[in-house]
A and B are shown apart, each in its own frame.
Chain A
Amino acid sequence: MIMSPSETISTLFDSPKETLVRYVEVWTPNEDATRLTLVATQVTGPITRKKPKHKVVSVAKGAGLAGTAWQQKAVSIVHRDDVGQLDRINVRSDHDLTAVLAIPVFFQQEIRGVVVIGLGDGFGAAEIWTRDDRDELAVSASHYAGLESFEFITRYTRFPKGAGVPGRVWQSGLPYLLQKLGHSDSFIRSFGNDEAEIGAAIGLPIGHERGFPASVLLLLSSTATPIASLTELWECEQSAVVDAGMPVARLIGVTRIAGGSVSVGSGSSPEAWQSELLQKTESAGQPLLVTAEEAELPTGAKFNLSIPLFKNDVLRNVLNLMF
C-alpha cells in the first residue's frame, strides 16, 4: 500500500463534509486546438444542475471564462456578483456560487484544457500570486470565503523567490501541497489571531515565463469546508517500463488532504484506483473528470477531477480533487 491506513478513505465518503468546491467543469481543445469544448460537468453537495442550454458548448480563444484563461495563460476569477452573468454555468442557483475560477492547463505552450471550478460559502480561499516590479510575489487576484484578517494581511504580504508556498512553487516550477501545523516545519502565512480555519494550502504553477511559472495559484483549504472531500497531489516519475514505445508514468509520492488532515506517503505500490486514474490522465494528457461509474474510485466517492501538471515536457504531478 502506498500510504495511510485505507480506513481514512473508506470512511471519508460516509458522511462527507461540505466542500468549498461545489461545481466542476472540464473543457478540452478540439483537434486543431482552435476551440475549447465543455466535455464534463459535475456538481457537489446541495447545488442542482440547470438544464444545459445548448447540447455542445464550445468557445474560441479569448471568449468566455475558459477562453480567457486560455488566452491569458492565467487563472481567471469571476466574483459573486458576476457569477450570474456566466450563462454557461449550469447551476440552478447562481447565488450558491460565490466565485468561479478557470484554471488553464498547458503542455509546454500548448493548451491541454481548462478546469472551471465554482466555490461556495464556507472557509477557504483562492489566490493568484504574480511577480511584482521587484521580483517578489504579491496577490494579483483573489477570492476569500470568510478569513477577513487573512485577506487583510495578505494584501501587505510579499514572498521573495523560495519563500512561503507561492515562492516555493515559483522557484521549483512544481506544485506543492502543505499542511499548516502550528508547530510544523512549514507554515502557510502568519496573519494574526484567528488562524485556526486554514488547514492546508495547494500551490499550482500556471504558465511559463523565462523558465519560471508565470503565476502561482494557491488554494487554501480549511477543516470546516475543505477544497474537496479528498485531495491528493501525486508525484510521478517516468518509469523504465515502456508501453507501446512510450515510457509510463509511475506514482512515487502522494500528499493527501483527507477529512482536514494531511498525510504524506511514498512507496511503489499505489492503490488500484490511483494506478487507473494515473494511467487515464497520462494517456489523455488533459484534465479529466470521471464518475464512479466511469472509473474505480474509493467507496462512496462520486467523482474525481484530475489535473495533470507538466514541467518541461514531462508529466511530473497530478492534482486530484475527489468528491
Chain B
Amino acid sequence: MNENRYVEIANLTKAYPNPFGQDIAVVKDFNLILRKGEIVSVIGHSGCGKSTVLTMLAGLNPITSGSLIVDGREVAGPGPDRAVVFQSPCLLPWMTSFENVMLGINQVYSHGTKVERKQICEYYLSIVGLADSMHKYPREMSGGMQQRVGIARAIALKPRMLLLDEPFGRLDSLTRMDLQDVILEILDRERVTTMLITHDVDEAIYMSDRVCMMTNGPEATVGQVLKIPFARPRVRSEVLDHAHYYDFRACLLSFLQKQEHRKAAHVASFSKKLLDAPVEFVEDTVKEPAKEPVGV
C-alpha cells in the first residue's frame, strides 16, 4: 500500500442530464491524491460540485467516468470503510444516542463480544463529549449534540476514510469551534484520512493539511491546492496568531472571489455567443467587469 497515494481520485467526472436531455458534466477531470491520515478541505462556491465529489467517494453516487481508489481498492458502492457525516446527522429518532452508535458498531465489530461492543460505543460517545447523554433521544438533544452523535457513529466504524460534508454548517460559531476541536483531537489520535467540505475558509485553514480549491461548474475541477504547513496538534490561538495565517486566508478568499467573477463572465460570454455573429478576432481585454445578471 502506498501511503502517499492512499486516496486517489483520477479524472473523476460526473454528468447529469439537463432539462433538454443533454448530459452536462457538473464535475470534470477532477484529480486529487490524499496521503494516509491527511485532512483535506474542499472549498468552492455553492453548487460547484463539492458534495457530488464527496458522495461519489462515499459510493452513494455513481461516477460517470474516471476512477476512485481508496487504499488500493476501487470504490464500488458505499461501505463502512468510508464513513460520512452530513450537515444533518440523520439519527434514527426512536433510538437513543447509544443505540444509534451501536447500530454501526454491530455491523463492523460483529466478531466482538457484546461487552466489547458496548465499551467501544461508550468510548466514542465519551470522546465526543456525550458521556452524560448516552441514553438521550435525538429530540432531547440540541443540533450540536446530535451532530456529536453523528461524529461518534462515523468514527466508531474505524473507517479508512472520513467524509464530512459541511458537518458544522448548521451550528452556531461556539458549538462549531467546539466540534472542530473534537474532530481534530480524534483525527490526531486515529489518523483517519479525511475530506472536509466547508464554506468557511478559517475552518479550512484550522482543520486541514491541504485545501483544495474547486472551480465553478459546469465542468468544475481542482483549481489550486494550498498546503497548510501548521504543525499538529494545532492550538487555535497559535494558528490564528501565525505570521502567515492571513496570507493563506487571503489566498483562499481571492480564489473564491475570482470564481465569483468567472461565473459572471461565463454567463456574459454565453449570452454574447447567442447574440453575436461569429467573430474572427476576440480582444480579451474586457472593458468593464461583467456583472452578475439579475435573476440568474
- Inter-chain CA distance A183–B255, complex, in Å, is 11
- Chain A, 117-158, contact with B by CB distance < 8 Å: what is the 0/1 string? 000000000000000011110000000000001001100111
The reply on B32 being an interface residue by CB < 8 A is yes
Interface contact A183-B33, CB-CB below 8 Å: no
Partner of A163, one of B222, B250, B252: B222
* B5 to chain A: closest residue by CB: A134
Partner of B223, one of A187, A192, A193: A187
Partner of B251, one of A160, A192, A265: A192
Main SS at interface, chain A: loop
Interface contact A190-B265, CB-CB below 8 Å: no
Interface contact B224-A163, CB-CB below 8 Å: yes
- Size of A's binding interface in residues, CB under 8 A: 38
The reply on B233 being an interface residue by CB < 8 A is no
Partner of B250, one of A192, A262, A267: A192
Interface contact A183-B262, CB-CB below 8 Å: yes
Interface contact B228-A264, CB-CB below 8 Å: no
Q: Taking the nearest CB of chain B, how far is it from the CB of A129, in angstroms?
A: 13
The reply on B286 being an interface residue by CB < 8 A is yes
CB neighbours of A185 from chain B (8 A): 262, 265-266, 269
Known: A152-B247, A190-B213, A265-B281. A159 touches B225 (CB 8 A): yes
Q: Taking the nearest CB of chain B, how far is it from the CB of A271, in angstroms?
A: 13
Interface contact B4-A182, CB-CB below 8 Å: no
- Inter-chain CA distance A5–B138, complex, in Å, is 69
- Inter-chain CA distance A193–B248, complex, in Å, is 11
- Inter-chain CA distance A184–B251, complex, in Å, is 17
* B211 to chain A: closest residue by CB: A156
- Size of B's binding interface in residues, CB under 8 A: 42
Q: Taking the nearest CB of chain B, how far is it from the CB of A149, in angstroms?
A: 6
Partner of A190, one of B222, B228, B251, B286: B251
- Chain B, 205-227, contact with A by CB distance < 8 Å: what is the 0/1 string? 00000100100000001111111
The reply on A189 being an interface residue by CB < 8 A is yes
- Inter-chain CA distance A265–B250, complex, in Å, is 35
The reply on A161 being an interface residue by CB < 8 A is yes
CB neighbours of A193 from chain B (8 A): 250, 254
Interface contact A4-B248, CB-CB below 8 Å: no
The reply on B258 being an interface residue by CB < 8 A is yes
Interface contact B35-A134, CB-CB below 8 Å: yes
Q: Taking the nearest CB of chain B, how far is it from the CB of A268, in angstroms?
A: 10
Within 8 A of B (CB), among A180-208: 181-185, 187, 189-193, 195
Interface contact A183-B223, CB-CB below 8 Å: no
Interface contact A179-B281, CB-CB below 8 Å: no
Known: A157-B224, A182-B258, A192-B250. A134 touches B281 (CB 8 A): no
Interface contact B224-A164, CB-CB below 8 Å: yes
- Chain B, 270-292, contact with A by CB distance < 8 Å: what is the 0/1 string? 00000000001111111001100
CB neighbours of A160 from chain B (8 A): 31-33, 222, 225
The reply on A162 being an interface residue by CB < 8 A is yes
Known: A4-B283, A161-B31, A179-B284. A189 touches B224 (CB 8 A): yes
Known: A183-B264, A190-B224. A153 touches B281 (CB 8 A): no
Known: A149-B247, A183-B286. A3 touches B254 (CB 8 A): no
The reply on A263 being an interface residue by CB < 8 A is yes
The reply on A261 being an interface residue by CB < 8 A is yes
Interface contact A152-B32, CB-CB below 8 Å: no
Q: Could you tell me which B residues sit within 8 Å of A by CB distance?
A: 4-5, 29, 31-33, 35, 210, 213, 221-229, 244, 247-248, 250-252, 254-255, 258, 261-262, 264-266, 269, 280-286, 289-290
5 contacts between A and B (CB under 8 A): A190-B254, A261-B284, A261-B285, A264-B282, A265-B280
List 4 additional contacts besides A156-B226, A163-B221, A184-B262; criterion CB under 8 Å: A134-B33, A153-B251, A158-B227, A267-B281
Closest 4 CB pairs of A and B: A192-B250, A183-B261, A190-B255, A160-B31
